[in-house]
């Protein structure tokens, strides 16, 4: 029994949020200096009436068209999003209907951020190995831009919106999905959180934003990210994650041809690359134009690596996602 | 790690500030270039150069470069 990554498609919303616009909105912040450090010069932003299901349906249709896929062949739909259309029903159910996927298919949402792509691949592989499904449509779609306060220049500069579609199949595809490592630490929950609007703390009318001394914007109705804590979390946990993934797959660091990490920002990625001692030419960074698109960063980077580098038969790629939760996961895909 | 070593590495992280203007008694928040990005750069430096974790709280509790040095040395 094997599970394959078969097809991959990416959707970036049409509207761009450029550095120029940021300079105009926040004069004196000198965003281009920030960009030198973060590696992010542009972001794509979903339209005001464009939501996760819209983007997911769009990218799925694109995937079907690009690869002559009949929706009738899909027997399971997984959507990873932290921006569901509703609390209920699951957005995946709405997507099944919009795509004319058979009603005999299973469908569910998973709520994860930057680790989400790895978890989705793991779940899809599990469904195949258990004989539950053979042809899984795994979608990622987030509109974090709608969570960010207009005055929160740090987060508005970093995050972008996107959606991706992947087919994970029991039938041979471009790469085999090998073994995984996962981890969780809920102690980090408060460091990347949108506190209000769920069941525990309802939304309030408060639109005021308070900046802490690191420039982190606080308003409980909007996204909050503690940059220094998140940086330390990745610095402490990702090296161990990579070591575990290598061990589970019985590979050494040198056996891996390309490392694709969650594309959070170039500064953090560079620090991790140096810490783990990954050679520069084996470390893929490609997010200048789209920023941190949460669970879509890994599939976007993977698709770009497939077309822009000499990844081919025999290549081993290590994927690693980490972030909100705290949650992390990694795996190897073998071309 | 000596105080001098720490000071040298600390001062080297600033792109636009003359390192000779930063002393062990400098109140780092008063450096023009000090920003939330520099905080991350300093945390990364401490991890890379000394394999130690400096947290946001550690920085919050500190005023001078000496304060940071004391906290980092206590972590060894």
The helix/strand/coil state of A31 is helix
Q: Give the angle subtended at the CA of A67 by the CAs of A61 and A73, to the nearest 5°.
A: 75
Q: Where is the domain boundary, A126, A145, A174?
A: A174
Cβ pair B36:A216 closer than 8 A: yes
Minimum-distance CB partner of A228 among B29, B39, B48: B39
Residues A264 and A192 in one domain: yes
Name the DSSP class of A246.
H
Residue ranges of domains in chain B: 3-74
CB atoms within 10 A of CB A190: 11
DSSP characters for B5-70? HHHHHHHHT-SSS-GGG--TT-BGGGSTT--HHHHHHHHHHHHHHH--PPPHHHHHT--BHHHHHH
Total tally of structural domains belonging to chain A: 2
Cβ pair A271:B47 closer than 8 A: yes
Q: Where is the domain boundary, A121, A140, A174?
A: A174
To which H or E segment does residue A20 belong? helix A19-25
Q: Where is the domain boundary, A115, A142, A174?
A: A174
Residues A108 and A160 in one domain: yes
Residues A21 and A47 in one domain: yes
A260 CA to centre of own chain:
12
Residues A183 and A283 in one domain: yes
CATH number of B3-74: 1.10.1200.10
Q: Is B16 an interface residue toward A (CB < 8 Å)?
A: no
Q: DSSP strand E in chain A: where? A: 4-11, 15-18, 42-45, 76-80, 106-110, 135-142, 162-169, 175-184, 192-193, 210-211, 217-218, 224-225, 258-261, 316-323, 327-334
Q: Is A277 left (phi over 0), alpha (psi -120 to 50) or beta?
A: left
Q: Is A317 left (phi over 0), alpha (psi -120 to 50) or beta?
A: beta
* Tens place of pLDDT per residue across chain A (335 aa): 999 999 999 999 999 999 999 999 998 888 888 899 999 999 999 999 999 999 999 999 999 999 999 999 999 999 999 999 999 999 999 999 999 999 999 999 999 999 999 999 999 999 999 999 999 999 999 999 999 999 999 999 999 999 999 999 999 999 999 999 999 999 999 999 999 999 999 999 999 999 887 778 899 999 999 999 999 999 999 999 999 999 999 999 999 999 999 999 999 999 999 999 999 999 999 999 999 999 999 999 999 999 999 999 999 999 999 999 999 999 999 99
Chain B residues 31-50 within an 8 A CB cutoff of chain A: 35-37, 39-41, 43-44, 47-48
Token pair in block for residue A164: 């991706």
Residues A47 and A82 in one domain: yes
The predicted model scores a pTM of: 0.96
What range defines the domain where residue A283 resides?
A: 178-334
Residues A135 and A86 in one domain: yes
Minimum-distance CB partner of B48 among A33, A267, A274: A274
- ipTM for the predicted complex comes to 0.92
Closest C-alpha among A180, A126, A124 to residue A6: A124
């Amino acid at each position: 029994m094997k599970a394959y990554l078969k097809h991959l498609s990416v959707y970036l919303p049409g509207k761009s949020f450029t550095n120029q616009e940021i300079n105009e909105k926040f004069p004196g912040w000198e965003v281009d200096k920030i960009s030198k450090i973060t590696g992010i010069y542009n972001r794509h932003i979903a339209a005001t009436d464009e939501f996760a299901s819209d983007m997911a349906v769009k990218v799925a249709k694109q995937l079907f068209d690009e690869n002559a896929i009949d929706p009738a062949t899909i027997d399971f739909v997984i959507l990873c999003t932290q921006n569901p259309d509703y609390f209920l029903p699951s957005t995946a159910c709405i997507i099944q209907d919009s795509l004319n996927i058979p009603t005999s298919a299973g469908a569910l949402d998973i709520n994860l951020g930057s680790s989400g792509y790895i978890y989705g691949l793991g779940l899809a592989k599990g469904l195949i190995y258990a004989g539950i499904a053979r042809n899984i449509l795994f979608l990622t779609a987030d509109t974090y831009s709608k969570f960010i306060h207009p005055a929160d220049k740090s987060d508005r500069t970093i995050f972008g919106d996107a959606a991706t579609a992947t087919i994970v199949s029991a039938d041979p595809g471009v790469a085999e999905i090998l073994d995984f490592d996962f981890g969780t630490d809920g102690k980090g929950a408060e460091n990347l959180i949108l506190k209000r609007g769920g069941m525990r703390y309802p939304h309030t009318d408060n639109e005021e934003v308070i900046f802490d001394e690191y420039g982190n914007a606080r308003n409980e109705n909007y996204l909050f990210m503690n940059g220094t804590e998140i940086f330390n979390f990745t610095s402490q946990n990702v090296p161990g994650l990579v070591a575990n993934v290598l061990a589970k797959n019985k590979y050494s660091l040198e056996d891996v041809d390309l490392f694709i990490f969650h594309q959070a920002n170039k500064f953090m990625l560079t620090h991790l690359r140096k810490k783990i001692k990954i050679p520069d030419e084996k470390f893929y960074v490609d997010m200048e134009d789209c920023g941190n698109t949460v669970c879509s960063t890994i599939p976007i980077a993977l698709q770009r690596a497939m077309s822009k580098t000499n990844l081919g038969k025999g290549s081993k790629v290590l994927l690693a996602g980490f972030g909100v939760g705290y949650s992390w996961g990694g795996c190897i895909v073998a071309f | 790690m000596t105080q001098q070593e720490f000071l040298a590495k600390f001062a080297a992280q600033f792109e636009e500030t003359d390192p000779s203007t930063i002393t062990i008694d400098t109140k780092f928040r008063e450096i023009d270039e000090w920003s939330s990005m520099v905080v991350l750069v300093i945390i990364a430096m401490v991890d890379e150069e000394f394999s130690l974790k400096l947290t946001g709280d550690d920085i919050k509790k500190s005023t001078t470069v000496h304060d940071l040095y004391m906290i980092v040395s206590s972590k060894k």
